[in-house]
Structures are given as C-alpha cells and as structure tokens.
Amino acid sequence: MAVMVLALSLSVSAVMLAGCTESGAETQVRTDLESMRTLDLDQEVTEELTGMLDKEGRSNYYEFIRKAGEYNYKILETIDNKDGTTTVAVRITSYSFGKAYLDAWSDFLEENPDGDFDPADFYTELMEHLSEVQGKEYVTDVDIICTEDDESGEWTTDAASNYELRNAMLGGMLREIASLAEM
C-alpha cells in the first residue's frame, strides 16, 4: 500500500512538473525578449541624434532608451503550425511612447506654426516627451514565429525582424510615426 501511495505521488509530481515546463520555442522567445531590452540603434544614427541635443536632451534620450527596455511580457499560448513552425503568442506591456510621440509632434507644430522644421528642436521636444512617460499603459498581443533546426534542435525566432513586436515594445510609436509619414 505504501509503495502504491509513493508511486502515485511521484506520478502526480511528474505530471505537475511537466505542466510547468516550457517548450524550446517558449524558451527561445524568452531569451530573445530579454536580449532585446537594450535598444541598439545604429551607431551613426545615435551619434547624429545625440549630436543635435543639448546636455538635457541627451539625458532625456538615455532615459527614453532605459524605459524602452522596461517592457513586461507574458507568454499566452504556443501553437504548432502545419508548416512546421511554432507560434508563440506574447502579451507586451510597455510605456505609451506612441502617444508621447504624437504629443511631441503636436506641441512642436504649435510652437512652429510657420511650418519650419528644425530637426534639433523637434528631437529635443520628442526626447523630453518620451523621457517623461509614466506608467505602462500600452498593452498588445504579438505572435512570434519560431523555427526548430532539424539537425541541431536549436530554435530561432523572428523577434529581431518582427515589426509588430518592436512596435509593441516601443509602445505603439513605430505605428504612429508611419501614420504621420503617410499624411
């Protein structure tokens, strides 16, 4: 009887542990999301942008970069696709940088009604708005496509090239920039 109770409790423990394990795709998604916390902009772009900003503007820029990496994520579900890939659905919660971008653009236009565009003035205004964003209110779900290498068993994801993921991490800012560019 004691042997059966022990065997049963070991079986239940094994099932409970199995329910908590992650798939290789989920593990790779977590690894990629953690590695993307540091926003790496092109060195030339960074130098050009920070070169336009005064000391306070550069401080605001680095505050924005820090906040951009503070997104939260939660894996919602993992789906094996018919084409051999795996989709990992993730909920991203981040600062509302898209709203801050629109606010900065509106303020800039109000301060420059004649339509003169001075990039240094705009980026100073933008970095001030982005650095002052409070509270993570931008929430969106994103699908990340994962592929397992048949030979090595290693997983790769489309996280680095996934526009929707990058937009979510940046609180909708990429989509707002694109919509303004279309005008």
Task: For 91-132, write each residue's pLDDT tens digit.
Answer: 999 999 999 999 999 999 898 888 788 899 999 999 999 999
Angle between helices 119-131 and 97-111 (to 10 degrees): 140
Lookup: tokens for 101: 């971008």
Task: For 127-171, write each residue's pLDDT tens digit.
Answer: 999 999 999 999 999 999 999 999 999 999 999 999 999 999 999
Q: Long-range CB contacts (< 8 A, 24+ apart) of 174-179? A: 174/98, 175/98, 176/98, 176/99, 176/101, 176/102, 177/101
Q: If you write DSSP's letter for every residue of 47-114 in order, what string do you get?
A: HHHHHHS-HHHHHHHHHHHHHHT--EEEEEEEEE-TTS-EEEEEEEEE--HHHHHHHHHHHHHHH-TT
**What is the length of the chain?**
183
Widest Cα–Cα separation across the chain: 88
**pLDDT tops 50 at residue 9:** no
Cβ–Cβ < 8 Å for 91, 141:
yes
From CA 24, how far away is CA 81, in angstroms rounded? Answer: 15
State the pTM of this model. 0.83
